[in-house]
Chains A and B, each alone.
Chain A
Amino acid sequence: MEALKYFEEMSTGLNNSEIKQWKKNGKKVIGTLCSNIPEEVLHAAGLLPLRVRAPNLKETSNADTHLHRINCSYTRSILELLITGGLDFLDGLIVTNTCDHHLRLAGELMDKSRLPVHYFQMYHTYTEGAKEWHVLELKRMIDYIKENFGIDISEADLNNSIDVYNRTRRLMTQVNESRKNDPPSLTGTEYMKIVLSGMSTPREQFNDNLEMLLQGLDGRKPAESGRPRLLVVGGACDSYEFINFIESKGAYVVADGLCFGLRQYQGLIDRSKDPFNAIADRYFKRAPCPSVMDGFDYSYKILNDIINDLGIQGIIGARLKFCDHWAGACKMLRDAFKENNRIPLLELEREYSTTGSGQISTRLQAFFEMLTN
């Protein structure tokens, strides 16, 4: 399918052909490091938000000199990319305080990057004060854009971007509907490529390609039915090779609770409100990650609904080694799902560049044997 070929091409490597063309047209690309950073604001300024990843990175020895070994491999990989020139094509960077590892990375990037780096302070609780702060942070981001790129953003610009992003989220909801089938109309691997494309191409083009994709999905059967249906949750999991490894052991990944997926594409923005509060609201109301201290119950509810809607039989908790947030979340989710729904959760510890291993293979195989008992 043409659309799938497009998504495949756009998700391989970071500086893809769409980005190269964008830059050739004299336009600018801003790297973001977390799905909590409101891209709509960047879009409103005519900038291309690019979710920074480090695909195919084999080692991080340059970054390791600066970061402690207990910093997670995602932060080390991004810093490695910066040091070795892999982010030179960007025009700006937005960093944030999702967790202590992110904070450490933010410091390094601000210290070492020649790009204008903006530190976006994200919220960590569901309180009115935090939401007000979130609105202030949106406005601070607008100031950063004005100071560094000379661009003014009007409310009309923001509303237009909200519409574009809402269109994406509606389309992605439809795409996810097709994963309710058995077999799902898209494998988890194919879906991850779509997700990554959306985070690294001009949004309008992505939307058009999603429309084309939806036309071809009806009745599509990528493989046979009857395989275990999985939900994958975790942090910094952007490797379609890893998803493919899971699926190759005899299952389908039909849903996710990932930044590269659910947290990026869930939750419409309310156009009846002023755009600042509307955007802040959406980021508050969509599925939280464990960086939101009091977000567990809400996260559990959302995942529980997904489990029921998609016929999920097992959960994979893919967390990076040294990730404190997801270590806690995986345990809490494992216990909660075991007690309430009797859905088992398999915790897979990985490094950012892990695509698969003998140890993961054994755990997956045993997990699927357990699910089919």
Chain B
Amino acid sequence: MIVAGCDVGSLSAEAVILENREIIGSEIIRVRPRAEQSARDVMGSLLKKLDISYEDIDFIVSTGYGRETIPFADHNISEISCHGRGAHFLIPSIKTVIDIGGQDCKAIRITQDGYLEDFVMNDKCAAGTGRSLEIYSEVLGVDVSQFGTLAVEAAAPLSLTNQCSIFAETEIMHYLMEDKNPADIAAGICDAMARRVKMLVGRVGLKGDIGMTGGVSKNIGVVKSLEKILGTTFMEFDEDPQIIGALGAALFAADRVS
């Protein structure tokens, strides 16, 4: 049995293919302007890598922001359920998932079988999302992939008071004009983000082992700040945490076939 999951988000698109419920390949790309194109490109790229075709796949589940527009998907499921399911598959003891993606931030609680139990989302603004980190990285003059390693070098994290990421950008610029250490600024940003996430997580409640998914989970600065502020340690996945949504979708696809 071969199934696929395709996750089209706001910044990245991922695909995962399972054979008999084992991961045989995954792919991550930057999104295109149209969700359908992102889906075709990421799936196309993965299929080519594995030397298989759409005809070989028994069932495809799509998820993410663009899930309803993917023509080759047999069914679509919310990314909330998919992130929970994917995280659980990799580490069955996980009961809480924090997913920080490009444009939103979610706290997800799952049952012991990995199904959705409760959730809370914040997508009212960019603060506390991957997109805001991209903005701040640009202001600091670093690539977003280096932002986290910069933050962990901080000697004295600075305090950022602005809720809004646009105004926070201005605050960062002021710090730079005052010759503040960019590492301290980056750490301050991570702390501010962690505080926002803590507020969200508080509404759903932390339970059991906790995993972080989504692109921002690769930012070591945010991860460390969150662990400090939540008083916990996140479980570490063997797979790239960015593919977990697509993995969950693929598992739901497998359910349909069995």
Query: B-contacting residues of A (Cβ < 8 Å)?
Result: 344, 349, 358-359, 361-363, 365-366, 369-370, 373
Contact = CB atoms under 8 A, between A and B. Distances in A.
B123 A369 contact: no
Q: In the complex, which of the residues A361, A363, A369 has the most CB atoms of chain B within 10 Å of its own CB atom?
A: A369
Nearest to A331: B203
**Which of under 10, 10 to 19, 20 to 34, or 35 or more describes the interface residues of B?**
10 to 19
B118 A369 contact: no
B45 interface: no
A373 B117 CA distance: 8
Contacts of B118: 344, 370
Contacts of B117: 370, 373
B78 A365 contact: yes
B3 interface: no
Interface string B109-127: 0010001111101011000
Given A358-B65, A363-B121, A373 B78 contact: no
Interface string B47-81: 00000000000000000010010000000011111
8 contacts: A359-B104, A362-B78, A362-B80, A366-B80, A366-B119, A369-B80, A373-B111, A373-B117
Contact of B124 (A349, A358, A366): A349
A344 B104 CA distance: 22
Contacts of B65: 358, 362
The 5 closest A-B CB pairs, nearest first, are A366-B80, A366-B78, A365-B78, A373-B115, A370-B116
Contact of B116 (A349, A359, A369): A369
B115 A362 contact: no
Nearest to A364: B78
Nearest to A369: B81
A318 B119 CA distance: 16
A361 B68 CA distance: 10
B81 A359 contact: no
Given A359-B123, A362-B65, A362-B121, 19 more contacts: A344-B118, A349-B124, A358-B65, A359-B104, A359-B121, A362-B79, A362-B80, A363-B121, A365-B78, A366-B78, A369-B77, A369-B80, A369-B81, A370-B81, A370-B116, A370-B117, A370-B119, A373-B115, A373-B117
Contacts of A349: 124
Contacts of B121: 359, 362-363
B61 to A, nearest CB: 12
A361 B65 CA distance: 10
A361 B116 CA distance: 16
A318 to B, nearest CB: 15
Nearest to A321: B124
A366 B116 contact: yes
Contacts of A369: 77-78, 80-81, 116
Contacts of B123: 359
Q: In the complex, which of the residues B68, B80, B104 has the most CB atoms of chain A within 10 Å of its own CB atom?
A: B80
Q: In the complex, which of the residues A344, A358, A370 has the most CB atoms of chain B within 10 Å of its own CB atom?
A: A370
